[in-house]
Amino acid sequence: MSEYIPSPIGWVRDQVELYERTNGAEGTTLRETGLPVIIVTHRGNKTGHIRKTPLMRVTDGDGYVLVASQGGAPTHPVWVYNLRADPNVKIRDMAYVHAMRAEEVEEEDERDRLWALCVASFPPYADYKARTSRRIPLFVARPM
Ligand code: F42
């Protein structure tokens, strides 16, 4: 069985631990923003280990938009490469946990439509986009 390796970032690791231990009763928002967070479980493309990544909760119908913003950093978060290699994920949204398939969105009109949803859910995404020259990858995870 694959081993779960927690994030090397302390506050991220702590959020996942609290969120899961309380079955989505605590640790479900991003710090002082108070805005909701989901947990994405995925598989490392090099190690094969299980990884858990909190992301902002952006919904599109029964799907979740996964935004690889990483605070406007110049490089993609490495979970992007994991999802590209293996799109099978588990999404936790509070107490709701569901197996889903995450597909990267390449088409520009669809990216624009989704981006509007992302900024409406979490306004700082607009600043993150302005801060970086990279094209921020967007995935949509939908029930299989
Ligand atoms: N990050 C976002 O990009 N978008 C968000 O909307 C977002 C919201 C958010 C809310 C709450 C919160 O606590 C964190 C939030 N974050 C958000 C931060 C997010 O959780 C991640 O920490 C961030 O996106 C960075 O992701 P990362 O995958 O680059 O994480 C690094 C720090 C990491 O875990 N590195 C590991 C390590 O050991 O250094 C490697 C993990 C890994 O997946 N390794 C792969 C493997 O095979 O196991 C290899 C990957 C490769 O190809 O190199």
pLDDT in tens, 9-22: 999 999 999 999 99
CATH architecture of the domain with residue range 10-143:
Roll (2.30)
Cβ distance 106 to 52 under 8 Å?
A: no
55 lines ligand 1 (CB under 6 A): yes
pTM of the complete model: 0.98
CA of 133 to the centre of ligand 1 (A): 19
pLDDT digits (tens, 9 = 90+) for 121-139: 999 999 999 999 999 999 9
CA distances in angstroms from 70 to 55, 97, 131, listed in the order given: 10, 24, 11
Cβ atoms 42, 99 nearer than 8 A: no
Q: Rounded to the nearest whole angstrom, what is the distance from the C-alpha of residue 112 to the centroid of ligand 1?
A: 24
**Mean of pLDDT values over 80-95:** 98
Question: Domain residue spans in the chain?
Answer: 10-143
Amino acid found at 21: R
Average pLDDT of span 78-86: 98
- Given this model, what pLDDT does residue 1 score? 63
Mean pLDDT of 88-103: 98
Beta bridge partners of 42: 51
Q: Which residue has the tokens 């709701």?
A: 96
